Amino acid sequence: MASILVVDDELSMREFLTIFLEKLGHSVISAANGEKAMVMAQEHPVDLVISDIRMPGMSGLDLLARLKAQKPELAFILITAFASPEDAVLAMKNGAFDYITKPFNVDEVRRIIQAALEKKQSQAAEPIDDFPEIIGQSPEMMKIFDLIKRVAPTPANVLIYGESGTGKELVAQAIHNRSQVARKPFVPIICSAIPETLLESELFGHVKGSFTGAIADKPGLFQLASGGTAFLDEIGELTPLIQTKLLRVLQEREFMPVGSTKTVQLNARIITATNRILEQEIIAGNFREDLYYRLAVVPIRLPSLRERAGDIPLLVDYFLKKYSERLGTPMPPMSSYGMEVLMQYDFPGNVRELENIIERGVAMSSSNIILPDNLILSSHRRKQNSAATTAAAALEPASPTAPEPARPDAARPDLGSGPAAGAGAGHSPADKPEQEIFLAAHSEAELYERGLDEVLEQLERRLILHALAKADNSKTRAAELLKLSFRSLRYKTKKLGID
The CATH number given to whatever domain includes residue 21 is: 3.40.50.2300
Report yes or no on 388 lying in a domain.
no
Which of residues 383, 402, 436 is at a domain's end? 383
- Judge if 145 and 294 occupy the same domain: yes
| Residue 116 shares a structural domain with residue 207 | no
Tell me, yes or no, whether 197 and 288 share the same domain. Answer: yes
**Residue 360 pLDDT greater than 60, yes or no:** yes
Q: Are residues 165 and 98 in the same domain?
A: no
Residue 134, in any domain of the structure: no
Give residue 490's pLDDT band: very low, low, confident or very high (50, 70, 90): confident
The domain boundary residue, chosen from 85, 100, 125:
125
Alpha helices in 296-386 (DSSP H): 312-327, 336-344, 350-364
Q: Is residue 323 part of a domain?
A: yes
Do 48 and 76 sit in the same domain of this protein?
yes
Average pLDDT over residues 419-439: 39
Owning domain of residue 460: 411-499
Mean pLDDT of 391-405: 36
Mean pLDDT of 277-291: 96
Q: What is the mean pLDDT of the chain?
A: 80
- Local confidence band at 416 (pLDDT 50, 70, 90 cut-offs): very low
Statement: residue 291 has pLDDT above 60: yes
- Indicate whether 82 and 200 sit together in one domain: no
Which of 237-245's residues contact partners 24+ apart within 8 Å by CB, and which partners?
Answer: 237/191, 237/192, 238/191, 238/199, 238/287, 239/196, 240/288, 241/196, 242/191, 242/196, 242/199, 242/200, 242/203, 243/287, 243/288, 243/291, 244/288, 245/200, 245/203, 245/204
Residue from 81, 82, 45, 76 nearest 62 by CA: 76
Instruction: Name the domain count of the chain.
Output: 4
Q: What pLDDT, on a 0 to 100 scale, did the predictor assign at position 124?
A: 57
277 and 184 fall within a common domain: yes
Does some domain include residue 424? yes
Q: Identify whether residues 295 and 352 lie together within a single domain.
A: no
In a shared domain, residues 246 and 297: yes
Comparing 413 with 345, the larger pLDDT belongs to 345
- pLDDT reported for residue 320: 92
User: Where is the domain boundary, 92, 125, 158?
Assistant: 125
pLDDT at 393 over 50: no
58 & 169 share domain: no
Please determine, for residue 332, whether its predicted confidence score (pLDDT) is greater than 60. Answer: yes
* 183 and 297 together in one domain: yes
CATH number at 453 reads 1.10.10
Q: Is residue 98 within a helix (H) or strand (E), and if so which, with residue range?
A: strand 98-101
Which of 68-82, 215-229, 384-398, 453-467 is predicted least confidently?
A: 384-398
Predicted confidence band of residue 163 (pLDDT cuts 50, 70, 90): very high
* Within-domain flag for 406: no
Q: pLDDT band for 394, please (50, 70, 90 cuts).
A: very low
The yes-or-no verdict on residue 194 having pLDDT over 60 is: yes
* Pairwise pLDDT comparison (190 vs 421), residue with the higher score: 190
